[in-house]
Amino acid sequence: MTEWEFCVPLVLKMNSQIRDFFRVTGTQEPHFQEVRFLSEEKELCWDAIEPTGVPRGWFELSRISMQDRVEFTRDFWLTLLPFHPKATRSLEEFFERLDDVAVVICRQSKEEPWRAELIYSLADNSSFFRGLPPAPEEEIEGTMRELDAKLPRDYQAFFRVHNGFGKLTEMGLLPLEDIPFARQQLVNLVCHSEKMLRLGETQIDPASLYPFYEEYGVGGLQCFMAEWYPGAEMGNVYFSEIDYTLSDIRDRKGWAENLAYPTFLEWLTAFLEGMNGLP
C-alpha cells in the first residue's frame, strides 16, 4: 500500500465543525474521499507532497507549531494588505480568536487532482474559514485588464493571500477566474428582466457593478460599484436578486447596516466577524 492509497486519520486539535466538514467516513455522506491534514503528518517531506500542488510556503507552514502557524499567517496578511486604521486592528483581533491555521489537501475522488486549502479554526468552535492558494501576479494583472476597471488596491492585494475564500462550506469570495463570468451573468440578468436595478429611486447601469462575493441560496452579491467613490477608490454595495435593489448609500451612518462599505477591507472584516447581516 502506497501513501496515496490511504487517508491519514483526523486527529485534530481544532473545532468540531472542521472535523465534520472534512469527514471521509461516518453515517452521513462524506464531502471528500480523501483528506490530509499536513500538520498531522510529522515525517512528511516536500518531495512526497510536491506532486499534490500544495504551495511550498504552505508546506513549510505545516511544519511549525499551531501557535506559530497563526502568528506567521497573521503577519503574512498584515504585510500584504494595505494598512487601514480600523480594519487592520480588526484583522489582528480575528487572528487572536484562532486556535490554528491548518494546511489541508483534499479531493472528492481518486481521479481528481488534490486541492490545497488553508483552514482558519476559531477557538470558540463557532465557525471556520477556508482559503485557496494565492493567485499568480500575472493572473491578477490579466483579469484586471480584462475587466477594464481599476478595482480597489486592497481587493487586488487579497488575491496574493487567497484566490477564493469563504466561511464553513461556502467559498463565497470569488476566485479571479470567476469574476468576468459573474459580472456578465449579472448584466444579463438585469438586462433581460422587467425590473429596474435601483438605488433608492435612481436607476443604475448594471455594467457599473463588479461582483466579488456571492451569498449562496439567497440571490445576493457584494459588488464594487463604479458609480460610488466614497473615498479614493470604489466602494462596494449589496445587490439583491430578489428585488433588484442595491444598498442604500444616501446616509453615511447607515452604510454598514445596509451592507455598503467604502473599502474592501472594511467589508472583509465585517465578514470575518459575522456581523451586519453577513452569513
The tens digit of pLDDT for each residue in 46-73 reads: 999 999 999 999 999 999 999 999 999 9
Q: Please list, in sequence order, all residues whose beta carbon lies within 8 angstroms of the beta carbon of residue 227, skipping any fewer than 6 positions away.
A: 204, 205, 208
- Of 107, 131, 155, the one marking the end of a domain is 131
Confidence of residue 26 (pLDDT cuts 50, 70, 90): low
Model confidence over 93-146: pLDDT tens digits? 999 999 999 999 999 888 999 999 999 999 999 999 999 999 999 999 999 999
64, 173: one domain: no
Which grid coordinates belong to 180? 468576468
Model confidence over 145-163: pLDDT tens digits? 999 999 999 999 999 999 9
Q: Is residue 157 part of a domain?
A: no
Judged against a pLDDT cut of 60, whether residue 7 lies above it is answered with: no
Judged against a pLDDT cut of 50, whether residue 184 lies above it is answered with: yes
- Of 131, 158, 186, the one marking the end of a domain is 131
Q: Is residue 279 part of a domain?
A: no
261 secondary structure, DSSP code: B
What's the pLDDT score for residue 201? Answer: 81
Handedness of CA 155, 53, 214, 257 (dihedral sign): negative
Which grid coordinates belong to 35? 483528506
What's the pLDDT score for residue 12? Answer: 46
Could you tell me how far CA 156 lies from the centroid of its own chain? Answer: 13
The backbone torsions φ and ψ at residue 116, rounded to the nearest 5 degrees and listed phi first, read: -95, 140
- Of 104, 131, 158, the one marking the end of a domain is 131
Structural domain total, the chain: 2
Average pLDDT taken over every residue of the chain: 90
Judged against a pLDDT cut of 90, whether residue 10 lies above it is answered with: no
Q: Is residue 105 part of a domain?
A: yes
Q: Is residue 156 part of a domain?
A: no
Adjacent-strand bridge partners of 165: 131, 173
SS3 164: coil
What's the pLDDT score for residue 28? Answer: 66
Q: Is residue 230 part of a domain?
A: yes
Handedness of CA 165, 168, 172, 176 (dihedral sign): positive
Q: Do residues 277 and 231 touch, judged by C-beta distance below 8 A?
A: no
SS3 52: helix
| Strand-pair category, 170-173 with 198-199 | unpaired
What's the pLDDT score for residue 57? Answer: 97
- Report the pLDDT averaged over residues 6-21: 64
What's the pLDDT score for residue 20? Answer: 86
Q: Is residue 247 part of a domain?
A: yes
63, 112: one domain: yes
> What is this structure's pTM?
0.90
* Sheet containing 245-246, strands listed edge to edge, beginning at the edge strand earlier in sequence: 34-37, 98-107, 115-122, 128-131, 165-167, 170-173, 209-215, 220-225, 235-240, 245-246, 198-199, 202-203
| Burial degree of 126 (CB within 10 A; 0-12, 13-18, 19+) | exposed
Instruction: For residue 40, give its domain range.
Output: 3-131
State percent of the chain over pLDDT 70.
92
What's the pLDDT score for residue 218? Answer: 77
Q: State the helix-helix crossing angle for 137-147 and 179-191, rounded to 10 degrees.
A: 20
Judged against a pLDDT cut of 80, whether residue 33 lies above it is answered with: yes
